[in-house]
Structure 1
């Protein structure tokens, strides 16, 4: 019975050979610019997502993107688009795809890294080879935070 339930859950996630707990990077499928299903079975935490977003040693989204909700943080980037109101422009499924693998979701020419990729990368230090920048749960947390950024 356990095998049947796992198989059904994997089919619901649109992947094969994985449990519903965490979708592995190689099993994430971007379809029409979206990753419709969450990467984990635990909902994203927007407060943690905010931490990853502004964290200079992990997500570091502020290095490239401005975000007026973080006016207290220094050095907002100007390389990427401002993320104010991003929840009104993109769905959670689209934002998840962009965070997971922006080159596939947006354009191969984007300089935004894929935060949930562990293969096909260039010039990766040995200690980071085979690892993702963010965990699946951290991706879900960042997406949950991004969904709080609505136009006011």
Structure 2
């Protein structure tokens, strides 16, 4: 069912500041973040991510990035074609926009098939062992953002 622009705007305003909630990463809580427009400008950890580790996470099949996305990964035979190619991500989107896309892609497209990697509220069809847990930690989000920001071509 399609959502109206007013419903989407209300959702964005109602969830602009996220409260701390339990997290799977060693019992830590979800970090506070503020959505401003179409981005999260501040790092979830207060630090820059590790781009090398971020690349490894993107290619790790358990995080599912390359199951849907393709990119500049010549060593990977099988890459997805359901979502945009990651090549040039750092040129197309700011670091804050990349961060919000990973945290909660549904803010850009409520019908997206991309998971919300750092959100717990309002999710449907969550497997029992993932309930109350984000898919990625704040550190992993920042590492992936750091890597995607390097993809300029």
Scaled by the length of structure 1, the TM-score of the pair is 0.79
Q: Hey, what does 1:145 align to over in structure 2?
A: 147
**CA RMSD between the two structures:** 2.1
Paired residues of 2:71 and 2:85 also in contact (CA < 8 A): yes
Establish whether residue 61 from structure 1 lines up as the match of residue 65 from structure 2.
yes
CA distance in 2, matches of 1:139, 1:16: 16
What's 1:102 paired with? 105
Trace 1:9-88 onto structure 2 (pairs within 5 A): 24=30, 27-57=32-62, 59-68=63-72, 70-88=73-91
**Deviation per CA, 1:57-113, whole angstroms, max 9, x where unpaired?**
1x2210111102x11012110000111111111000000000000001x11011111
User: 4+ residue runs of structure 1 moved beyond 3 angstroms?
Assistant: 14-18
- For structure 2, the 5+ residue unaligned runs are 1-15, 21-27
Task: State how far apart, in whole Å, the 2-side matches of 1:42 and 1:125 are.
Answer: 31
Deviation sequence 1:16-60 (CA, Å, 0-9, x none):
987xxx8826x4332211001000023200011011111111x22
Match of 2:124 in 1: 122
SS in 2 for 1:112: coil
Q: Which runs of 5+ in 1 are unaligned?
A: 1-13
**TM-score, structure 2 normalization:** 0.78
Secondary structure of 1:63's counterpart equals helix
